[in-house]
Amino acid sequence: LLQTYMGFERYEDAGKVLEGTLKEYPSQMVIMQLLPYAEMIYVKGLGQPDKAKEIFNQYKDKITDEKTRAFLEAKIKGYDSKKPL
């Protein structure tokens, strides 16, 4: 459903599915599979990097893989550095 909404450029609906799925199934495997969609939907589709950052912050502590967690933290810092002065 998530990919179908994205294919039709219905990014708000895709975001609702993404967030609902992450809340319903907060396992590490699901989180790692779905977090890349947060950037596709909220940054590229809707132009809302703060929302992607919020989702990354919400779930990064549930990731036990250090490289993945470091990647998420780098993404979060990247969003912070792109804020206008």
CA torsion sign for 16, 58, 53, 69 is negative
Query: pLDDT averaged over consecutive 10-residue blocks of the chain (85 residues)?
Result: 96 97 92 93 94 93 89 86 59
Please state, in angstroms and rounded to a whole number, the distance separating the CA atoms of residues 1 and 22: 14
**Are 19 and 55 within 8 A, CB to CB?**
yes
Give the tokens for residue 79. 């969003």
Q: In this predicted structure, what is the pLDDT of residue 75?
A: 87
